[in-house]
Amino acid sequence: MATKTLIAAEAVRLAAFHGIDQLRAALTGPLKGQIALVSSFGAEAAVLLHLVAEIDAHTPIIFLDTLKLFPETLAYRDALARHLGLTNIQTISPQNLSDPDNNLWQTDPDACCFARKVVPLDAALAPYAGWINGRKRYQSASRAAVPTAEVDGAHLKLTPLAHWTARNIADHMAAHNLPAHPLTAQGYASIGCAPCTAPSTPENPRAGRWAGQAKTECGIHATAKAST
């Protein structure tokens, strides 16, 4: 496993890059084979998955099935994997889930996200030195200053598309003939778990996530944890 010193050094080095340049520098650099991409296979996921596939189609792709996803998302995962030639998709699900009435998303959405997303993802990332995520600064006020590279707990965390705009995403999708998530045609600009996702506008894509609540994030992108 990579040392804390190496992870910190890579965070500094890779902060100078973004987009496919950052991905190439990370996936072929000192941490080669130790970095996974975490993908929701949501509305914009095809772009980052395409860029990674251009570099190494066997890069580990961690897909978190919360057991509350739209069936369209599960079908899109399979279709997009075939389209891009991805060969290392690892689907993980919550284990020992305590939700006997299957309504935790209503009674305590933070606890639901923690059990269905944060806990299983932490376990899935344990073997890796770093991970790649698809946040963009334009998506919401809470994401307006996300760094392109950081140390998050014991991991290097990369956000190569932080600077990209909705237009950049749309242009890349069109230029490379990438299939869209089927729900985008129904007005879903950001797609998560079915009970907690509603249609929204491209100008405010995450307004449809936990609509009507103060909640804006699931917890996997909480403020970077101190290195341990």
DSSP designation for 193: B
Q: Determine the Cα–Cα distance for residues 49 and 43; give it in Å rounded to an integer.
A: 12
Q: Determine the Cα–Cα distance for residues 201 and 188; give it in Å rounded to an integer.
A: 8
Q: Is 218 a catalytic residue?
A: yes
Q: Are residues 117 and 218 in contact, defined by beta-carbon separation less than 8 angstroms?
A: yes
Q: Which of 155, 130, 171 is nearest to 29 (CA)?
A: 130
DSSP designation for 138: G
Q: Which of 202, 59, 227 is nearest to 136 (CA)?
A: 202
Q: Please calculate the CA angle 213-216-218 and round it to the nearest 5 degrees.
A: 110
- In this structure, what token pair is assigned to residue 5? 């010193």
Which residues, 6+ apart, have CB-to-CB distance to 185 below 8 Å?
A: none
Catalytic residue selected from 112, 193, 196, 218? 218
Q: Determine the Cα–Cα distance for residues 47 and 176; give it in Å rounded to an integer.
A: 9
Q: Determine the Cα–Cα distance for residues 8 and 103; give it in Å rounded to an integer.
A: 41
Active site residues: 218
